Copies of this chain bind each other. A is one copy, B any other.
Amino acid sequence: MPRAGLDAAAVVAAGADLADEVGFAGLTMSMVAQRVGVRTPSLYKHVNGQEDLNRRIAALALGEAADAVGGAIQGYAGRDALAAAARAFRAFVLEHPGRYAATIGVEPSGPDDPMAAAGARLLGAFMAVLRGYEIGEADVDHALRLLRSLFHGFATLQSGGGFQWSADVDESFEWLIAFADRGLRTL
């Protein structure tokens, strides 16, 4: 039996891809094993069970999202930065719904959890957007939570098929960016 040359990163990557394909809730260890060409129990040599795999997928997703958003806002400020960040974030969630779903409801286990670092990076990118507005010290935390809620909410609702009716979703999203920009400029 030739070795497959696996490592934890390869298992996590396969799990993340599968989550995007079949939905995070439908992800199973058997599927991951089949995808990487190995029997199911062999996965436990690289990953400590499903819970651990989920956390690692979440960390990967947060890191990728942070890269996407952080890269998108390079060289922009104010409204342009806000729009770039929002579009990059939504695009990431829509392209990787399974990965992103893995990040929901998972709290970092400790201070050295890679998930915490990745989450902090993503938060930092949104914080950078806010620096382009004149926001008082007391409001910055609230504004950050506003942006998170808004974009998280919109992206997950759309990703879950929550917007059924009539109006164009892209148009709504641009409208929403304009709304947030106006509000942030008049604090």
Contacts and interface: CB of A to CB of B under 8 A. Distances in A.
Given A161-B105, A182-B186, A183-B179, A149 B142 contact: no
A149 B145 contact: no
A128 to B, nearest CB: 17
A104 interface: yes
Interface stretch (A5-13, A33-41, A73-81, A169-177): A169-177
B156 A156 contact: yes
Number of copies: 2
| Contact-size category for A | 35 or more
Interface string A130-162: 000000000101100110111111101101111
Contact of A152 (B142, B157, B183): B157
A128 B172 CA distance: 19
Contacts of A105: 23, 25, 159-161
Contacts of A44: none
A107 interface: yes
B172 A142 contact: yes
A106 B157 CA distance: 11
Given A104-B160, A142-B171, A150 B148 contact: no
Residue among A105, A164, A167, A183 with the most chain B CB within 10 A?
Answer: A105
Interface of A: 23, 25, 104-107, 139, 141-142, 145-146, 148-154, 156-157, 159-167, 171-172, 175-176, 179, 182-183, 186
